[in-house]
Amino acid sequence: MKITKMSVMVLMLGLFLGSCAKEEEMAAATPTLYARLGGVDAISAVVDEFIGRVAANPDMARTFKPLLDEVGAQGASSPKLISLRNNLIDQIGEASGGPQKYKGKDMVTAHKGMNITTVEFNSLAGNLSGALDKFSVPTAEKTELLTVIASLQPMIVGK
Sign of CA dihedral 40, 142, 120, 98: negative
Question: Is 22 an interacting residue with respect to ligand HEM (CB under 6 A)?
Answer: no
Question: Is 156 an interacting residue with respect to ligand HEM (CB under 6 A)?
Answer: yes
In terms of Cα–Cα distance, which of 82, 126, 121 is closest to 104? 82
For the bound state, the minimum distance from the C-beta of residue 54 to ligand HEM, rounded and expressed in Å, comes to 8
Distance, CA of 123 to CA of 61 (rounded, Å): 12
- Residue number of the CB closest to ligand HEM reads 104
Under 8 Å between Cβ of 42 and 135: yes
Question: Is 145 an interacting residue with respect to ligand HEM (CB under 6 A)?
Answer: no
Among 36, 98, 111, 145, binds ligand HEM (CB under 6 A): 111
| Three-state DSSP class for residue 11 | helix
Tell me, residue by residue from 66 to 105, as one string, x for binding to ligand HEM by CB under 6 A and - for no binding.
Answer: xx------------x--xx--xx--x------------xx
